[in-house]
């Protein structure tokens, strides 16, 4: 996949200020993307999409944990990974009983 270079809509000035003030930190954003083009290699029939960044919003510091948690849940669902520490929003896990004893991660829901 390629990424298009056209400037997206959004408060890029705020993001730039944040990146300049903390250049070694990661900066969390929410982005809207779509497909700008699809290239076809006629010799192999391989297709390659070019992603267009339609809009981008920096995530406010006070919202960063909420957004990171949502991204973590989406990644875990996509990969089938099980989190080592249960998500506090997952009531079923917190209502489960511990099977292996104190400090164990093994629970029965």
Q: What is the pLDDT of residues 48-77, one digit of tens each?
A: 999 988 888 888 889 989 998 888 888 888
Cβ neighbours of 109 (radius 10 Å): 9
Domain boundaries, the chain: 2-83
Q: What percent of the chain has pLDDT over 90?
A: 20
**Mean pLDDT over residues 94-100, rounded?**
46
pTM comes to: 0.58
- CA-CA-CA-CA torsion for 61, 62, 67, 73, nearest 10 degrees? 120
Lowest mean pLDDT among 3-7, 22-26, 44-48, 52-56: 3-7
Report the chain's mean pLDDT, rounded to a whole number.
78
Asked if 57 and 67 touch (Cβ cutoff 8 Å), the reply is: no
């Amino acid at each position: 996949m390629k990424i298009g270079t056209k400037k997206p809509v959004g408060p890029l000035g705020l993001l730039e200020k944040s990146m300049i003030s903390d250049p070694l930190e990661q900066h969390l954003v929410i982005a809207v993307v779509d497909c700008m083009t699809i290239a076809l290699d006629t010799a192999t029939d391989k297709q390659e999409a070019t992603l267009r960044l339609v809009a981008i919003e920096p995530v406010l510091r006070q919202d960063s944990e909420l957004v990171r948690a949502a991204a973590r849940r989406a990644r875990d669902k996509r990969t089938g990974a099980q989190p080592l520490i249960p998500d506090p929003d997952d009531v079923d896990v917190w209502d489960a009983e511990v099977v292996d004893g104190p400090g164990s991660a093994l629970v029965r829901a």
